[in-house]
Structure 1
Amino acid sequence: MEKEMEALRERLAMYEGRAPMAGQPLLNQPPAPIDHQNNFAATPLLKVEDDVFLQTQHQQVAATSLLDLRSGQSPMFYTLGAGEVRLAHGEVNELFTEYFQLYHPFLPFLDQVRSPEEYYNHDHKLLFWAILSVAARRSSSRPTLLKDLAKPLTDLIWDSIRNQPNHHVVKALCLLCTWPIPAERTVTDPTYMLCGVMMQIAMQIGLHQPTHPQDFSRNKVRLQQEDIHDRLRTWAVCNIVAQTVSTGNGQPSITLYDSTLEFKVDDEDHMRTIPPTLFVRLRQEMAASRINKLLYSANTHKFAAEAATTYMTLEADRLKEERGSLDGVDNELEELYHCAVSLHLHLYSFFSPEPRLERRDDLVALYYAATAYLDQVFKLQQASKLPYVPYYIMQMALAAGFALLKLLNSDFAGRLPSKGRTYVLQTVEALRRAKVWPNDLLDRFAEVLAQLWKESSRGRSLHSMSQSPSVSNSGIANMFNNQPQSQQTTQQRRESTGMLEDPLGLIVRSRMSMSVMFDCVWRWREAQVSGAADQLDNTVVTNPTNPDSSSSSTPPPGMIVENPAHTMPNFNPHLNTLSMPLALPQGLASANSYEFFDSVSWMLEAQTDWNQYGSGGFGTDFNA
């Protein structure tokens, strides 16, 4: 090793035009000068072997890297895994700069002053590579970097979790849950799982008790005030991220908002611990958690219809009051997240059993909540910030787009502004622009929304398009309605034979505010003749649907058209996409047929209550 180091040092010095150090023997003597008087002699010319040896850049870097290691300096390359990914110092510095300029404002909790070397050597390697993975999402200098990072970074995540993680690992998981590595199937997306691990690690190491770390450690722990503030700030961000992941996935909150997070604006010590932007975000996600527990919890069905509507109105007023009282730094982002929480609240309107459309002011409020949120998203798109937003922002955009799809294809559409149609088109465009790579989940959901919108003749009463006869199935209607039979007839929103015929009704009702999205995806799958999931891959990449295409007959606004021609491949014209009167074997036998979008089947959450609806033909389908 010593001889190799000396040889490399000598060759590097010669390559750079420097003389070798004193006392070092020359391993390769320079060539003798050529006698120009004997130019035509037969003696062959000597080659400069050292220049040939260090001719390529990789060899130069390798030599310098060995010298750096001997002198105690940081290596020339940062490697991940078994050498699958190698990044030079210049690349790392560039990616760190991109992260703090473009992504950090959406979740400002990391220290911008620390160098990449400090993150790598003093904090944790996982945090270092998590920052790089976020910045690599839109890297122009190395477009394939994120895909190269995906597998070795995943291995590093689980390895870090196994080996006594510290609170810097929790920080890394916060980043990876906010900007997850894109997936093409939610069954392969570990974000919600990692979010739970993040919260469990945070509590295991005592972040929820930041001033008492000794109670959670076998070794003596001495923290300075700055360290305590860092742990407390990390715990606050944990809860912010956990709530956004829960909301975006339609799952119950896994947050823990205890007295530790009761910050006060007028307390200088509190404001030194958590910056104003994070303080506002924390209060907003506390409101989202409160909405989950108040309206979307398992006990919500015990409310009377009027009580739930009243609670929703009161909560909307409270959100407005809190928005006026909270003053952060970035008003644009604060308004964006406020509109997201407001949309999360108003999406509960789809769960209301009120049958009289003339009394459905909550649907009007939902329309304006959805369009207000999309307005904020479109502002980000115009400012070229959309590619850098957290995944949660686009999940809520999906919910807004599918909510408008249902509203504009119902009998209630007459009470809504006609410009709502343009919002759906812009949403599809925004989703496609926000994708990280082709055929990721955002790209696939955008294609489904585009197909549903196109098949509805772009928002012109999809409910009137069904060519199939109405099939009564009281078993299905009862499954999604826990009301006594005597009350069911008075709670139909229209003269229909069941909930499946109602464009405003939800079949998927256990995914909280995101139920509307999963409901539309389920109906889309049932509206396909065969092979929908397999063909979606090819359609998304090679021939994405134009939702505003006029390839099919497009009647003027206001004209009711029965049985329009459907031009999309494999679309079954006998199935109304948003109101499908399906026979039971077809409808419920494949009730989890949208699994390529969703990792947790909605059917599993209702199994304990199936027996109360009687046999009704369920046995063959569910006991197999």
Structure 2
Amino acid sequence: MLTSEFSLPAQTPLSGEMPRPDGRYRNHYPTLDFSSPTHPKTLDHLTLSSQQIDSLYFKKYHPPVPLLDPTIPPNNYYDRSPLLFWTVVYISSRQYAEEPGLLGMLTSPLKQLLWGTISNPPHTWYLVQSMLLFCMWPFPTSSLWNDTTPMLVNLAQTIAMQLGLHQPEAIQDFSRTKQKLTAREISEVVKTWSICYIASQSMTTIYGLALPSSDWMIDRICDQDSTYMVPENMKHQLLIYRFSARRGHWKEKSQASLRLPQHTAVLTSNLREADNDVLLNGTGLQLYVFYLLDSGGSTSRKIALLRAFDIAKTLIANLRQLDTTSNFMKHCPASYFRVTSLVALFILKLQDSNYAELLDVESGKRAFNAALFLLRQASLEDSDLPGRTSNILAQLWSRQGHSKQSGEEPRLRLRTRLSASLLHDQLWSWRESFGGQVSASHTPPADNIGPQSMTTLPDGGLIVPTPEEGHVDRLTFEEVFDTEMLSLLPFDLEADASLNPLTSFTEGVPSPSKVL
């Protein structure tokens, strides 16, 4: 039985060895062969030369997701898992200028290898690692409905738990043989489970699905000195996404108060690396989306949304600079595409409202266009999600430019997808304007629907009437978060009075932080 006294093992020297070929566990490993040249490899009818493999392996894609060891020779990875080997090659081929068609040639046979491996247990942690890498850099797809990422991340978590990767100190309980992990094996396991958590939580930006907010192992990685077990960059991402997970589970607040993690200082000072700074501010921006779910028009709400507008512009400026120096968007995980989409949607929503007269519209336009540029940088083909998203956003902006601002408070009709409600609300707006779909009322929150309010159709379908505005279960920001969790953010919800366009009529009004 797990106890709160468990801690990660003390730091010990690591030998550079890897687990045995089947990906399970033993205390002695085969010696790695660093002297042998890379061998050509064949997948289906496609053969890559040793020079191609060496030029693709662990170049641009390892730093954002430091799951694997880039010092391990390609031959050794292939011997242990052909799927993992080809996964690394495939991801590296996404922006391979010397052979642009390589990605397309690899896609079909690698999908067959992936799903064939999944359907043939017993599974190994190499399969889990491959699936997670595909979650971070998904196969190109033209629609959210065709995206297999949610399925893959759920399968990866299930298989990881079957292998006991979520409880490395008790991994023997999930094995048929007696095993005890060494320090290197525990590090491998902890990193794999950490990426499971990161991959699943990063999808909430675009899918808006509620995921588990608490994880025993993740809490211990975040709250202990575990940087020798996982890279510092990975630990920072865990801190960000753990906060994001707690944010998404605000409905549980009445049952268990959210507590301030011990490492607030880490969040507020050490997360200032450029890429993590983008993720952290993106998480904060998702928090502001909850103001859009509140249909009221209070002064504190207006101040907060105007502050969010400035944060969105700053985030895009930082990401643009990062991309300029390193072509970051061409190689980054999908989580950055999702954050960029959120920023563009936020700017669009506020400028197409009665807030427009309070905004610096020109700087907002520049930030919006920069976001479209970044999305296109992340696109592999015109019909993939980043490419289509940039086109949809451009059409929505064009529609706004050919009509007057709505003159209404910025609010959302669709309110059932947490912070992703902004994305899906705008997608419905696009469908109604450009997709030929007739405007229809969105489904109200489930707790407002009762059997007496539904009408059954002859074919068995249901008509759900839209409730009156006064009967909608409105969300207020103070019901969603407590002030301790808000203090994790690297910015203050209280707008700077010197920059606040509402200063002239907000004197004497409590600041947002006081309201919260």
Alignment TM-score > 0.5, same fold: yes
Match of 2:290 in 1: 348
Aligned 1:420-569 pairs, distance under 5 A: 420-457=364-401, 461-463=404-406, 502=408, 504-528=410-434, 530=436
Equivalent AA in structure 1 for residue 434 of structure 2: Q
Aligned 1:7-18 pairs, distance under 5 A: none
Q: Is the 8 A contact 2:223 2:263 kept in 1?
A: no
Total equivalences in the alignment: 424
Partners in 2 of 1:511 and 1:271 — Cα distance? 34
Partners in 1 of 2:153 and 2:184 — Cα distance? 26
Partners in 2 of 1:146 and 1:115 — Cα distance? 22
Q: 1:441 to 1:263 in 2, by over 3 A?
A: closer
Match of 1:177 in 2: 135
Q: 1:376 aligns with which of 296, 313, 318?
A: 318
Per the TM alignment, residue 129 of structure 1 is displaced from its structure 2 partner at its CA by 1.2
Match of 2:193 in 1: 235
Partners in 1 of 2:263 and 2:182 — Cα distance? 37
Per the TM alignment, residue 393 of structure 1 is displaced from its structure 2 partner at its CA by 0.6
Q: Is the 8 A contact 1:346 1:369 kept in 2?
A: no
Q: 1:291 aligns with which of 214, 237, 247?
A: 247
Q: Is the 8 A contact 2:278 2:315 kept in 1?
A: yes
Q: Deviation per CA, 1:535-561, whole angstroms, max 9, x where unpaired?
A: xxxxxxxxxxxxxxxxxxxxxxxxxxx
Q: Is the 8 A contact 1:130 1:175 kept in 2?
A: yes
Structure 2 SS opposite 1:106: coil
Aligned 1:34-183 pairs, distance under 5 A: 77-80=40-43, 82-83=44-45, 85-96=46-57, 100-122=58-80, 124-162=81-119, 163-183=121-141
Structure 1 SS opposite 2:392: helix
Q: Is the 8 A contact 2:41 2:47 kept in 1?
A: yes
Per the TM alignment, residue 77 of structure 1 is displaced from its structure 2 partner at its CA by 3.4
Match of 2:345 in 1: 402
Q: Is the 8 A contact 2:416 2:445 kept in 1?
A: yes
Match of 1:332 in 2: 274
- 1:587 aligned to 2:475? no
Greater Cα offset, 362-371 or 192-201: 362-371
Q: 1:608 to 1:188 in 2, by over 3 A?
A: farther
Match of 2:485 in 1: none
Equivalent AA in structure 2 for residue 344 of structure 1: Q
Q: Deviation per CA, 1:114-159, whole angstroms, max 9, x where unpaired?
A: 011111102x222111111110100112211111222221121122
Root mean square deviation, CA, Å: 3.3
Per the TM alignment, residue 246 of structure 1 is displaced from its structure 2 partner at its CA by 2.9
Per the TM alignment, residue 319 of structure 1 is displaced from its structure 2 partner at its CA by 10
Partners in 2 of 1:121 and 1:259 — Cα distance? 30
Q: Deviation per CA, 1:327-352, whole angstroms, max 9, x where unpaired?
A: 26x71122122112111211211111
Partners in 1 of 2:372 and 2:218 — Cα distance? 41
Structure 1 SS opposite 2:63: helix
Q: Is the 8 A contact 2:218 2:238 kept in 1?
A: no
Q: Which has the higher contact order (CA 8 A, sep 6+)?
A: 2
Q: Is the 8 A contact 1:207 1:231 kept in 2?
A: yes
Equivalent AA in structure 1 for residue 431 of structure 2: R
- TM score, norm. by length of structure 1: 0.62
Equivalent AA in structure 2 for residue 324 of structure 1: T
Structure 1 SS opposite 2:355: helix
Q: Is the 8 A contact 1:409 1:503 kept in 2?
A: no
Q: Is the 8 A contact 2:132 2:152 kept in 1?
A: no
Q: Is the 8 A contact 1:410 1:461 kept in 2?
A: no
Partners in 2 of 1:321 and 1:226 — Cα distance? 28
Match of 1:225 in 2: 183
Whose Rg is larger?
1
Structure 1 SS opposite 2:127: helix
Equivalent AA in structure 2 for residue 193 of structure 1: M
Equivalent AA in structure 2 for residue 375 of structure 1: A
Per the TM alignment, residue 365 of structure 1 is displaced from its structure 2 partner at its CA by 2.4
Per the TM alignment, residue 196 of structure 1 is displaced from its structure 2 partner at its CA by 0.5
Structure 1 SS opposite 2:238: helix
Q: 2:357 aligns with which of 411, 414, 417?
A: 414
Per the TM alignment, residue 588 of structure 1 is displaced from its structure 2 partner at its CA by 2.7
Q: Is the 8 A contact 1:109 1:237 kept in 2?
A: yes
Q: 1:614 to 1:349 in 2, by over 3 A?
A: same
Q: 2:233 aligns with which of 262, 277, 282?
A: 277
Q: Is the 8 A contact 1:246 1:252 kept in 2?
A: yes
Runs of 4+ in structure 1 off by over 4 angstroms are 73-76, 317-322, 603-608, 610-615, 617-624
- TM score, norm. by length of structure 2: 0.74
Q: 1:143 to 1:510 in 2, by over 3 A?
A: same
Per the TM alignment, residue 223 of structure 1 is displaced from its structure 2 partner at its CA by 3.0
Q: Is the 8 A contact 2:91 2:137 kept in 1?
A: yes
Partners in 1 of 2:459 and 2:347 — Cα distance? 37
- 1:362 aligned to 2:304? yes
Aligned 1:606-617 pairs, distance under 5 A: 606=446, 609=449, 611=451, 613=453
Match of 2:149 in 1: 191
Q: 1:264 to 1:452 in 2, by over 3 A?
A: closer
Q: Deviation per CA, 1:559-598, whole angstroms, max 9, x where unpaired?
A: xxxxxxxxxxxxxxxxxxxxxxxxxxx4238x7xxxxxxx
Per the TM alignment, residue 113 of structure 1 is displaced from its structure 2 partner at its CA by 0.9
Equivalent AA in structure 2 for residue 282 of structure 1: L
Partners in 2 of 1:173 and 1:527 — Cα distance? 37
Unaligned runs of 5+ in 1: 1-72, 304-310, 465-501, 533-585, 592-602
Q: 1:318 to 1:79 in 2, by over 3 A?
A: same
Per the TM alignment, residue 424 of structure 1 is displaced from its structure 2 partner at its CA by 1.3
Per the TM alignment, residue 266 of structure 1 is displaced from its structure 2 partner at its CA by 7.2
Per the TM alignment, residue 176 of structure 1 is displaced from its structure 2 partner at its CA by 0.6
Partners in 1 of 2:308 and 2:285 — Cα distance? 7
Unaligned runs of 5+ in 2: 1-35, 464-516
Structure 2 SS opposite 1:104: coil
Q: 1:621 to 1:342 in 2, by over 3 A?
A: farther
Structure 2 SS opposite 1:79: strand
Q: 1:334 to 1:76 in 2, by over 3 A?
A: closer
Structure 2 SS opposite 1:86: strand
Q: 1:186 to 1:610 in 2, by over 3 A?
A: farther
